[in-house]
A = this chain, B = another copy of it.
């Protein structure tokens, strides 16, 4: 019985996810679902990306948080349109919430919608939102054993952003073997793109921006 009901809830989520996917595909909008632990730097990455690509890609954001709209406020300062979803305790966004948020975003004027999921390396990866792809973020202070210990998101993401590179380079005593993370991730996910970045300094963003621009262009060309 537990399993049946679990499946039923997932099915309802799948239906909304499908609806979202149809909407986004029809309108040729790229939609990326960002997943990471709390504090890995998702919002800071988004703010830099929005500001630096302003003239090339029109970006909107759906912000998921258990509580508060602190992150949405930070995004709002960039002038990008943003919708906050407060999950009130739930540990992941679901497709129905994203469905409502999409209808409140001016998506006609956008090329790319980022969904910043609730900070959680486990649950969000199990819930399809209708997105074009998932972006995993791992900061170097979280440890290089994370792809082995929490494989689900690393196996499913199109891109892995390894963030807070500045904390490695500053000579701080952070033990983090980037090559181990890359190797462990590629064992799970052969085609994944991996960019090592610092959202604070801007290092390493060129590859990420190229990837985004290509994805937006490919979608438009279809």
Interface residues of A (CB under 8 A from B): 1-2, 5, 9, 37-39, 65-68, 70-71, 89, 91, 118-123, 126, 139, 141-143, 145-146, 148-152, 164, 166-167, 170-174, 200
Contact = CB atoms under 8 A, between A and B. Distances in A.
Contact of A166 (B91, B121, B173): B173
B38 A149 contact: yes
Nearest to A71: B149
Contact of A167 (B118, B120, B141, B152): B141
Contact of A139 (B122, B141, B151, B170): B141
A149 B37 contact: no
Nearest to A126: B89
A39 B172 contact: no
Contact of A38 (B123, B143, B152, B200): B143
Given A1-B5, A38-B150, A119-B150, A145 B70 contact: yes
Contacts of A151: 66-67
Contacts of A141: 39, 139, 141, 164, 167
List 7 A-B pairs, minimum CB-CB distance, nearest first. Answer: A39-B142, A91-B122, A141-B141, A172-B172, A39-B143, A37-B37, A91-B123
A20 to B, nearest CB: 21
A199 to B, nearest CB: 12
A146 B39 contact: yes
